[in-house]
Chain A
Amino acid sequence: MRKIILVLGIMLLWNSHLLAQTVSGVVTDQADGEVLPGVNIIVKGTSLGTSTGMEGAYDLNVNSLQDTLVFSFVGYETQEVPINGREQIDIEMVQQTFEGQEIVVSGYQIQNTADVTGSISVVEPEALQNRTVSNPIKSMQGQVPGLYVNTSGDPTGATEVRIRGVSTLNNNDPLYVIDGVPTKQSAFEVLNPNDIESIQVLKDAPSAAIYGARASNGVILVTTKKSKANTFEVNYSSQVTLSQYATKPDVLDAEGRARAQWRAAVNDGLDPDQIPDVNYDWTRNQDGSATLNGVSFPDMITNGYPTSDTNWYDVISERGVQQEHNISISSGSERGGARMSVRYYQDDYILKHRDYEKFTARINSSYKFNEGKIEIGENLSFSNGLNKGLHDPGPLGQALNVRPLLPVYTTGGEYSGPPTGAFVDNTNPLMELDYNKWDQTSRLNLFGNIYANFEVLENLSINTNFGIDWGNSHYRDIQRTYSTGYLSRDVNSLMNSKSEDFAWNFNATAQYDFEYEDHNATILAGTEATKNTFSQNASTREGFAIETLDYFVENAGSGSQFVSGSRTGFSLLSFFGKVDYSFNNKYLASATLRYDGSSKFGNENRYGAFPSFTLGWRLANEAFISDNLPFISSLKLRVGWGQTGNQEISNIARFTLFEPSYGSERMLLPPWARGYDYANYGTAYDLFGNDTGSLPSGFRRIQTGNDELKWEATTETNIGLDYGLWDQKIAGSLDYFMRNTSDILISPAFIAVEGEGSSRFINGASVETRGWEAAITYRGGGNSFNYTVRANVGHFNDEITDLPSDVVDSYPGNSEKTILGESMNSIFGYVADGIFRTQQEVNNHADQPGKGLGRIRYKDLNGDGQITPLDQDYLGTSSANYEFGLNLKANYKRFDAEIFLQGVAGRDVIDERKERTDFTSLWAGTNYGSRTLDAWTPQNSDSDIPALTLADNNDEGRISTYFLADGSYLKMRRVSVGYTVQDFSVFSRLRVYVAGENLLTIKDNSGDDAFTSPDPENPTSNYPRPRKVSLGLNVSF
C-alpha cells in the first residue's frame, strides 16, 4: 500500500517538472471579497492541479494556455474557467446556496431540492467521516431531525435506527436503498463512510410511498461516490484511537460487601457470625441495635483460594485501541471512469479478548457511449466483518455478580470459580472472555448493482437496474472444558454455523420530462421485483482430546455430533408511477401510486396499493414576498399525504405449521443467563424405557396460520416549511406530521388453554404518532474566521388508538387499565411512595404483604385498602420524546474545530441495575453496589434506600417508580481540532487532527433519579460506550 502511494506521488512530481507555462491568480469570496485559502484548482481532463495558499494565491503549471481550469472548494459552486491564453486569472467563488440548489435522490429519480415537496432530510457526508465507528449509519445520530439512533458501545456497530419514532408494534427498522438496491439487513455491513456521496432520509409517507410495501418506517437512501469527469484523485486517511472504559459501576469492595451482608443479617435477625468467610467484630447494643466495629477475613476461603479484594470491572477491561485506514483512487474522463476504495477498521475493544475487524472494498465505474445517450455502470462493494471473542456482554453482568472476595486466580495459577455454595453460580468473568476468545463470526457481504440508462428521446429516458445483496455468515463457537470451584464443563465442543442470505432486485423505470411555457412535468413509471432467500446449517461436534484452536476441527472430535438447518425466503413484485408538476416555478404538485404484491400474504390480500399526493408553494418567488420581505431568500410551503405499507412478519406467518422437535436445540445456557425462560418443547420420548439410543418422536404445532393476513398500512400527513433568510445565512426547515398506522401486524400473546403453537399473526392494532421537527443552520464569520452552527430537534408522541380485545393483554396493563391511549413503549408498574419510617406508618398503610420498617411503601392507587396488581399505572414511556443535535464548526486560517452535542429528553428508563446496586435481597450471593452501605436503618433514617434484607418478602423487584429514572441526557459526542497545510511535499492537501468522543455527559444526577447504571444512553445494555481520543490524518495527492 505504502509503495503505491509513493509511486503515485513521484508520478505527480515528475509531471509537474515537465511543464513550462504558468497561470497564477488570487481566489476570493464573491460575497465579502475575502481571500480563500485551500481552493482546489485542477486542469480539466488531467491530473494536474494545485490549491490556493494562505493569501488565496495560486500558481499552476499547465501544458497549454488553451486548457480549462476547474476551481472547487467545499461550500462553493465549482467553476470551470477556460484560460484563453491568460496567465493571470483572479476568480471570485460563489457560495453554494445552502438550500434549494442541491440535488437529491428521491426514489428512482433525481430532483432539485427546490422541487421537493416531501419531508426529506439530507445528511452531510462529512459528518460521517473520521468517526470511530465501524459503520456510518451509527454516526447519523443527532445529524437529522426526526432520525433517532440508539447505539451502544457494541464493537460490531449494532445500532437501532428509528425514523419519526415508532409506528408499528413489530419491526420498526427503516428500509435502506443503496445505489437503488433495497436492503434491510446489509446497510450496517457494506458501507464505508468515505464512499458516501449523499444520504437522504425520506421521513414521511408522502415521499416514501414510492417504496410502498417496505417504506412505513421511512427510507434511507444512500448514494456512493463515483469518479468525477476529468479528475484524478488519490485520498488517504488514517486514524488511531485510544478508548477507555470510563463508566464502570460503583460496586462494593470486599469489606463493603461484608458490611452490607452484616447489615442485612442483623436486620433479618440472623446471626452474622454464621456468615461464611468473614469475621465480624460487632456488638449488640442495649436498645437492640447493633454496631459493627470491624471486619476481617480469614487468609483463605478454601484450599487454593486466598481471600482477595478484586474489582472485577478492572480485571475484565483494558485500554482499547482502534485504528482505521482508508485509501481511494478515482479517475474519470468525459466518457466515464472508475473509483476504487479500500477501508480497514479495527476495534480492540475495552473488554479483554474482544476484537472487531472490518475490511471494505468498493469499485464503482460507469461508461457513457453513443454521445452520452447510453450509460452503463456498476457499483460493487465487498465487505468482511470479523467479530472475535465472546459474542454477548455476559461478563459485564458477571463482573457485578461475582464477589470481590474471590481471587482472579487460585494459588495454583488456574482461573478461580465459585469455591463454596456461598458464592453465586457464575463463572469467572475473565475466564469467560479468555475461554471464548476463539469464538468468531465472519460476515462476508457482496453488495452492488449494474445499471444501464438510455436516453431514448430527448425527454424520455429508461433506467434499468439489477442489484444483489449477498451475505454469508460463519459463526464458530468453541466451548472448552473447565473445572473451577463447583462449576465445571466436562465435554468440550465445536459448533460451526453457516448461513447465507441472498437477495436480488430488478427495477426498470421510464421517465418522461415535459416542458411547455410555464408548465413543467415529469412522469415516471416503473416495475420492481425482489426475491430473498435465507438458508442456515449448523453442526456441533463434541469431545476433543486437545484444546488448541488448530485441533478444533470436526474430524478431530470423538463425541456426539448434531446437525441442524433451515431455509426460508420471500418475494415481492411491484409496479409504480409518479407524476411531478410545477407551474411557473411557484406551484408544485406530485402524485405517486405503488402497487405491491408479497409472498408473505395469502391470495386474497396479496396485493396492496400505496398512493401519495403532495403540493408545494414556493412563496419566495411571489412578488408579495420578494417585494415586501426582501430578507427572505427562499420560502417553500409543503403539504403531503401518503400511504405506505409494512410486511415485516415471518415469511410463513400465514400457514398453520407443525414441526418435529426431536431436541435439536440446546436448552442449557451458561449459568449467569439467569432471566432466561428455560422452556422445553421436545417431541421425543423414551417410550420403550431403553434410557438411551434413538427415541420415537412426534410433531408439535409451532404456529397457527391466518390466510386473511393483509398489509399493515401507514397513512401520514406532513406539513413543512423550508426557509432561507438573508441570502441563506440562516436556513432551515420545519415539519409537522400526523401518522396513523392501522391493521398492524402483530402476534399477540394468547390464553394458555389454547395450547402449544397458538401464536398467530393478525392485523390488530392502530397507532397514532404525531410530532414535529425543526432544523436551522447559521453561517457566520468572514475574513479568515468562518463558522457554522447547525441545530436540529425532533419530537414525537405515539399513542395506541385501537387494540382488539385479544391483543390488549400482550401489552402492559391489567384488567382495569389498558394501554389504549398510551404510548406503546409505556412503562407499567407500581408507585413507590418512599419507605416506611415508623411503625405507625406501617400500621396505617393498606394491606401490603411483606410491608415493614424500612420497606418500600406502594401507593394504594385504587384505595381499596390492599396492594394488588390493580394498583399499577402507566409510569412513563421509554422512547425519547425529544432528540436533538447541535453542531458547531469553525475555521480560522488553517485551523478547524468542531463540537458536536447530542441528547434526548422526555424519556423514562427502568433502571434494572438498581436491583443489584440498591438491594441485597433481589440477587442472592452476588456483589452489590456501594449505595447499599447508605441503606435505611433506624439510625440512618433519612435514607431513601430500602433497609437491607436477604429476604424479598415485600416483592421489591416489581416494576415500580423506585426503578424509574429520567433518561434524558446531553452528551458531548465529539470535539475535534484540525490543522491543514496545502502543497506540502507531494501532498496537495494534508490535514492532521485530534478528536475526543464521549468526553462529557450531562444527565440528571439528583437524588433518587441518579443513574446507578453507567450509561444513560443504554442504561440496561451492557456494552459501554468508551471515552475516546483519536489522532488522525487526511491527505490528498
Chain B
Amino acid sequence: MYTLKNSLILVLIGFLVVSCSDFLNFQPKGNLSEEDLNTPENVDKLTTAAYAALGNDHWFVPYSHMWAFGSVRSDDAYKGGLGTSDIGDFHRMELLSTIRTDMVRSNQLWERLYKGVDRANTALKRLNNVSESELPVKTQRQAEMRFIRGHFHFVLKTLYKRIPYIDETIPVDSLGSISNRQYSNNELWNKIAEDFQFAVDNLPMPAQVGAVGRADQLDAKAYLAKVRLYQAYEQNENHQVVNINTGHLEEVLRLTNDIMTAGNHDLFDDFAQNFLWEYENGQESLFSVQRSRDDGTPDGRMNRAVSLLYPMYDAYGCCSFSRPSQTLVNAFQTTQDGLPDFDGYNNDEMDEEQDFQNNTFDPRLDHTVGLPGHPYKYQNDIIYDVADFTRATQVYGPFSTMKAIQQVGCPCLVRSGGSGFSASSKNNDIIKYNDVLLWRAEALIELGRHDEALPIINDIRSRAQASTGRLVDDNGDPYSNYHIETYQDGVNINWTQENARRALRWERRLEFAMEGMRFFDLVRWGIADETMNEYFNVEENRRVYLSNGQFTEGQHEYLPIPEQQIDFSEGVYEQNTGY
C-alpha cells in the first residue's frame, strides 16, 4: 500500500516537472502585443487614439483651452476660484514673479503634451510600414498624424520655447538623450512647419475628408500660417523680438489667401455663434477638438478643460476660475467715434451696473464677460448677480467669464456626478476663421501693406457691430450701451502702420478675450514686458494681491523647463534663459 501511494506521488512530481514549461507560461489577458497592432485596421485605430489625445486634458492641466496659460498669465484674467491658494501653481503663473521651476502642474502639462506627441509617433511608426494597398488612406493618415504632432509641438513651443523635438524616427532608447537645444529656436519652428507642410501637401480638402473631426488641407494651411506668423517675429536668446522675417509673413499671406478663396469658411453672422454648442463645426470653425456626451464612456468625452470656469450659479455649480480683469472690461469701452479708447480706457473702473449704460462699449463685451445686472449667456431669465455667480469677490472682483460656458438648457451641458463641476460637449476651437483673417491682417501690417489690412479688420468689426441680436433683454433694450464703428482712414483714424498695428492688436484683444491667446500674442509681439508691468501697476490698486506681480523681461516670456524633466535628462536639457 505504501508503495502504491509513493508511486502516485512520484508520478505526480514527475508530471509537474515534465509540464513545467507549460505550467509557468502565463499569457496576458485582454491586452494586445506589439505584433497584434500591425494589421491595417489596428494601425488606423492608432490614429484615432492620437486624435483622442487632443482632448485628454482635465481641469487641473487644461491644454485644449489655454485659459490658465494664455488668459490668467496675461492681463485678460485673474485666476479666480476660492482664493489665491486654490491651485497655487496657477496663482504663481498669474503673478509671474513667483513662478518656480518645479511646479507640479507645469510638469504634468509637459508630460501630457508629450503623450500627445507620442501617440502621433506611435501611429506613424506603424503607418510607415503599412503598404498603400493594405491601407489606401495611408498617406492621408500620415499627414493627419504629422498635423497632430505639429499641434502638440506647437503648444509646447509657445509655452516653453526650447523643447526637445521628437519624431517617429528616433530610436526608443535615445529619446531621453535628445536635447532641447538640438535645434535653434528658428530650426525648431522649421521642424514644426515641416510637419504642417507635409499635411498641406497630402491632406484632402474638407469635402473629401468625410469626417469633420479629421484634419483637412485647409486646417493644415491655417496651422502652418500660424506657425510662420509666430516664427516671423524672430527672438534672440533673451526672448526679445529683434527682427521680423518678411519671407514668413509672405507665406502667411499665401496660405491665408488659399483658405479665404477656397470658400469653405466664413465668419458667422453673429459673434455669439462661436460660443454656442448648436453651431459647433460650423463655417467659422477650422480645426477643433471634438467633444461628445452619452457616448458609451462613463463620463462622456466632455470638455473638462473648462469645467472650473463655470460660475457658482445654482444651475452651473462651481468654481469661478479665470475671471475677467478690470483692465479687460475697460478695454471694451469705445470713444464717441465708436473706436477703442486706446489711451484713456483704463482710467476709471467700469464695474457698476450704470457704468455700462453711461459709457459706450463694444458689443463683444457682453459676449465675453458676465456683468452685474446683465442677463448671463444670452439667457434673459438668468440675471448675473455678483454674489450668486462669483466667489472670493473681495479678491477677484465682480466679473465672470462666459465664452466657454454653455447655456443652462443646452443638451450639451452635464452636471458632473457628485461634484459641482459642469462640463459640456461643446468642441474646443483651436483655429477659427476670424483668427485666420486677423493673422493675415497682422502680416500685411508688418509688411507695410497696412492699407490692405484695413478692410479685414473692419470685416471683423462689422461682424461685431452686427452681433447684438442676442444682447437684448425682454424689454427690447440692449444689455449695454453699444457703440462700435469701423476704422475709416482720415475720418476717425490716421491709418499709418503704427496706428494699424495698434488697432490690430486691440482687435485681437477684444475678439479673442478670455480664449487663452492673449499671453502668447503679447510674447509674439515682443510687448509682454511693458504690457504686463503696466497692468500690474494699475491693477495693484484694484486687486491687492497683484502688488506681488512682476514681469521680468528675458525670463517670464516662457515657463521654465520643468525641473523634474531636466533631472530626468541628466542635464541634457538646458533651462530657459532667466530661470
Chain A interface residues toward B at CB < 8 A: 265, 268-271, 274-276, 420-422, 424-425, 452, 454, 456, 462, 464, 479, 486-491, 493, 506, 508, 527, 529, 531, 540, 560, 562, 565-573, 597-600, 606, 651-652, 655-660, 662-671, 677-702, 749-756, 805-806, 809, 813-815, 849-850, 868-869, 921-925, 950-953, 955, 957
Cβ of B45 and Cβ of A688 under 8 Å apart?
no
Instruction: Decide if A679 touches B545 in the complex (CB within 8 Å).
Output: no
> How long is the Cα–Cα vector from A700 to B47 in the complex, in angstroms?
10
| B97 to chain A: closest residue by CB | A849
CB contacts under 8 Å to A, within B255-288, are 280-281
Cβ–Cβ < 8 Å partners of A697 in chain B? 45, 48-49, 52
C-alpha spacing A815/B572, complex, angstroms: 12
In the complex where A663-B297, A924-B85 touch, is A953 in contact with B37 (Cβ < 8 A)? Answer: no
Flag if B114 contacts A599 (CB, 8 Å). Answer: no
Question: Given A665-B298, A953-B98, is A681 in contact with B56 using a C-beta cutoff of 8 Å?
Answer: yes
The smallest C-beta distance from B249 to any residue of chain A, in angstroms, reads 32
CB of B509 within 8 A of chain A?
no
CB-contacts of B20-34 with A (<8 A): 20, 23-26, 28-34
Interface residue from A572, A656, A681 paired with B34 (Cβ < 8 Å): A656
* Chain B 41-58 near chain A by CB (<8 Å), digits 1 or 0: 010011111111011111
Q: Tell me which of A425, A698, A702, A869 contacts B319 (CB under 8 A).
A: A425
| Contact in complex: B299, A667 (CB < 8 Å) | yes
Choose from B16, B92, B118, B568 the contact partner of A749 (Cβ within 8 Å).
B568
Residues of A near B314 (CB, < 8 A) are 486
Q: Is the CB of B32 within 8 A of A657?
A: yes
Quick check: B312 and A486 within 8 Å, CB to CB?
yes
With A422-B391, A599-B26, A849-B100 in contact, is A691–B291 under 8 Å at CB? yes
| B418: chain A residues within 8 A (beta carbon) | 479, 489, 668-671
Determine whether the beta carbon of B47 is less than 8 Å from that of A698.
yes
What's the minimum C-beta distance from A392 to chain B, rounded to whole angstroms? 13
B5 touches A689 (CB 8 A): no
Check B175–A683 contact: CB distance below 8 A: no
B118 touches A755 (CB 8 A): yes
Instruction: Tell me whether A869 and B24 are in contact (CB under 8 A).
Output: no
If the complex has contacts A454-B2, A688-B211, are A952 and B88 also in contact, measured as CB distance less than 8 A?
A: yes
Q: How far is the CB of A2 from chain B (nearest CB, A)?
A: 45
- Indicate which residue in B60, B164, B178, B567 contacts A809 across the interface (CB closer than 8 Å): B567
- By a CB distance below 8 angstroms, the chain A residues around B88 are 922, 952, 955, 957
Give the chain B neighbours of A464 by CB distance below 8 A.
9
Cα A1029 to Cα B6 with chains together (Å): 56
29 pairs, CB–CB < 8 Å, chain A vs chain B: A270-B394, A271-B394, A425-B419, A487-B317, A488-B317, A489-B417, A489-B418, A597-B24, A657-B28, A658-B37, A659-B30, A669-B419, A678-B60, A680-B304, A683-B45, A683-B52, A685-B290, A685-B301, A688-B211, A692-B425, A693-B295, A695-B295, A697-B45, A699-B37, A699-B45, A753-B114, A755-B114, A755-B175, A950-B395
CA separation between A877 and B342, bound complex, in Å?
Answer: 59
B301-A684 in contact (CB<8A): yes
Report A-chain residues with C-beta under 8 Å of the C-beta of B33: 655-658
B224 at the interface (CB under 8 A from A): no
The reply to whether B299 and A699 form a contact with Cβ atoms under 8 Å apart is no
Roughly how many angstroms separate A654 CA and B60 CA in the complex, as a whole number?
A: 33
Question: Do A421 and B52 touch across chains, with their CB atoms under 8 A apart?
Answer: no
**Known: A421-B391, A493-B417, A657-B28. Contact between A687 and B298, CB under 8 A?**
no
In the bound complex, residues from chain B placing their C-beta under 8 Å from that of A751 are: 175-176, 565, 568-569
Q: Which of B76-84, B131-139, B367-375, B428-436 contacts A (4 or more CB under 8 A)?
A: B76-84
Contacts of B419 in A (CB 8 A): 425, 487, 489, 668-671
Q: How many A-B residue pairs have CB under 8 A?
A: 373
Cα-based distance from A423 to B91 in the complex (angstroms):
19
A696:B45 contact, CB within 8 angstroms = yes
| Cross-chain contact B415 with A698 (CB below 8 angstroms) | no
Complex: how many Å from CA A487 to CA B319?
A: 11
- B214: chain A residues at CB < 8 Å are 687
Query: Given A658-B32, A685-B301, A850-B98, does the pair A268, B545 have CB atoms closer than 8 Å?
Result: yes
Q: Are A462 and B9 in contact (CB under 8 A)?
A: yes
In the complex, chain B residues 92-112 whose Cβ is within 8 Å of any chain A Cβ: 92, 95, 97-102, 107-108, 110-112
B317 in contact with A486 (CB, 8 Å)? yes
CB-nearest residue of chain B relative to A663? Answer: B297
1/0 per residue B115-132: CB within 8 Å of A? Answer: 101110110000000000
Do A685 and B55 have beta carbons less than 8 Å apart?
A: yes
Complex: how many Å from CA A425 to CA B59? 15
- Of chain B, the residue at the smallest CB distance from A422 is B391
The answer for the CA separation of A700 and B28 in the assembled complex, in Å, is: 16
Q: Which residues of the other chain, B, contact A600 by a CB distance below 8 angstroms?
A: 26
Our pick among B42, B117, B212, B420 for the contact of A425 (Cβ within 8 Å) is B420
Q: A569-B26, A955-B98 are in contact. List 19 more A-B contacts (CB 8 A).
A: A265-B394, A274-B393, A420-B387, A425-B319, A486-B312, A486-B314, A486-B317, A487-B419, A493-B417, A560-B294, A568-B28, A669-B419, A684-B297, A685-B54, A685-B55, A688-B211, A698-B49, A754-B176, A809-B567
Q: Check B351 for interface membership: any CB of A closer than 8 A.
A: no
Name the CB-closest residue of B to A370.
B1
Which residue in B212, B392, B417 is a CB contact (below 8 Å) of A668?
B417
Minimal Cβ-Cβ distance residue in B for A534: B29
Residue B36 at the chain A interface, CB threshold 8 Å:
yes
How far is B16's CA from A94's CA once the two chains are assembled, in angstroms?
A: 49
CB distance from B522 to the nearest CB of A (A): 22
| A868 and B563 alpha carbons, distance in the complex (Å) | 10
* Cα–Cα distance between A137 and B100 once the two chains are bound (Å): 46
Q: Which residue of B lies closest to A816 (CB)?
A: B567
Residues on A with C-beta less than 8 A from B291 are: 686, 691
Minimal beta-carbon separation of B412 from chain A (angstroms): 7
Cβ contact within 8 Å between B392 and A924: yes
Are the C-beta atoms of B26 and A651 separated by less than 8 Å? yes
Q: Does B571 contact A (CB under 8 A)?
A: yes
Taking the closest CB of chain A, its distance from the CB of B501, in whole angstroms, is 34
Contact of A421 among B56, B91, B213, B390 (CB under 8 A): B390
Q: A491: nearest residue on chain B (CB-CB)? A: B417
- A950, B83: Cβ atoms under 8 Å? yes
A664 CB contacts on chain B under 8 angstroms: 297-298
Chain A residues within 8 Å of B205, by CB = none
- Please encode chain B, from 178 to 191, with 1 for each CB lying within 8 Å of some chain A CB and 0 for all others: 10000000000000
The CA of A829 and the CA of B48, in the complex, are separated in Å by 42
Q: Is the CB of B2 within 8 A of A456?
A: yes
Asked if B320 CB lies within 8 Å of chain A CBs, one says: yes
Closest Cβ neighbor of A849 among chain B residues? B98
B281 touches A422 (CB 8 A): no
Query: Is B202 in the interface zone, CB < 8 Å from A?
Result: no
Residues of B within 8 A of A869 (CB): 100-102, 563
Expressed in whole angstroms, the Cα–Cα distance for A809 and B565 within the complex equals 9
Cα separation A849 to B95 with both chains bound (whole Å): 11
B286-327 with Cβ < 8 A to chain A: 290-299, 301, 304, 312, 314, 317-320
| Pairwise interchain contact B293-A700, C-beta atoms closer than 8 A | no
Q: Count chain B CB atoms within 10 A of each CB in A271, A815, A953 and give the residue with the most.
A: A953
Assess whether B85 is in contact with A952, with CB atoms less than 8 Å apart.
yes
Q: Could you tell me if A658 and B297 are in contact, using CB atoms closer than 8 angstroms?
A: no
Determine whether B466 belongs to the interface, using a CB cutoff of 8 Å to chain A.
no
Closest-CB distance, B333 to chain A (whole angstroms): 26
CA distance A589 to B529 in the complex (A): 79
